[in-house]
Structure 1
Amino acid sequence: MDDDTPDADAESDTGVEAHPEIRVDTEGHLEGGITVETKAGVPIYADAGSEIDARWMEAADRRILEFMQEEDAFEPTQMDEEGICPAKYAAYRCRELAKYGLLNRHMPGLYEVSEAGDRYLAGELDPSELEPES
């Protein structure tokens, strides 16, 4: 019989019986047509080996700041267009980076790297010492 239903006694290449209703995604998930690597279900938007310099920061923050520094002013949709991370994620991270003073927010959705952001990228500022603005 030739059908598409999973074989209840099918085994994986490891010899362990596969349960037909359990699927573990260890490679990544599909987001906007792009497979995004995940760690514990949370998207990772950064190059391998990216460091997180403060507890409040995320792996993609340095890439976001570097790209914005090259572009002067920035809209989060540009991150999506450049393949760095999805626009909604970039918008969220830009709000967080602005809250800690690494970005200046000119209006909703329009940011530029602040003096503190430039100092951070130059290695002259430790972001773990920054406090969020209220």
Structure 2
Amino acid sequence: MVLADDRILEYLSEVETATPGEMVKSGFVRYSNGYVSERCQKMADKGLVNNLGRGVYAITERGEQYLRGEIDTSEDAPDRVKSSNEKRSSAGDTKENV
């Protein structure tokens, strides 16, 4: 994930659907049309946006979760962020306090 991805997801969260060209024209996503298109394709591969066809993208629930900080999309990170009521045991396993 790069800064452009955050901007794209934030924009799609507000408008629901858009093409890379619309994102660029809005002034909110300040990257080239080609770069925005490339980033949308990569995020579609990760399930953060849906490609609706004809270059139109929509944010997914997973994308919304990313924006809320509920998931981490780095390659070596788990799909969710640990809650504050979880701690690590001495073996390194995550335990949830009850």
Aligned to 1:40: none
Letter in 2 for 1:58: V
Measured after TM superposition, the shift of residue 130 of structure 1 is 7.4
The one of the two structures with greater contact order (alpha-carbon pairs below 8 A, sep at least 6) is 2
Aligned residues: 75
Which structure 1 segments of 5+ residues have no match?
1-56
Q: CA RMSD in A?
A: 1.7
- Stretches of 4+ aligned residues off by more than 2 angstroms: none
Aligned pair in 2 of structure 1 residues 130, 91: CA closer, same or farther (>3 Å)? farther
Query: Which structure has greater helix proportion?
Result: 2
Deviations 1:61-94 (A, max 9, x none): 1011001110101100012202321111110100
Aligned to 2:69: 123
Distance across 1 between alignment mates of 2:56 and 2:36? 11
1:87 paired to 2:33 = yes
- Superposition pairs of residues 1-134 of structure 1, within 5 angstroms: 57-83=1-27, 84-128=30-74, 129=77
Which structure 2 segments of 5+ residues have no match?
80-98
Distance across 2 between alignment mates of 1:126 and 1:63? 16
TM-score, normalization by structure 1: 0.52
TM-score, normalization by structure 2: 0.69
Structure label with greater radius of gyration: 1
Distance across 2 between alignment mates of 1:130 and 1:105? 24
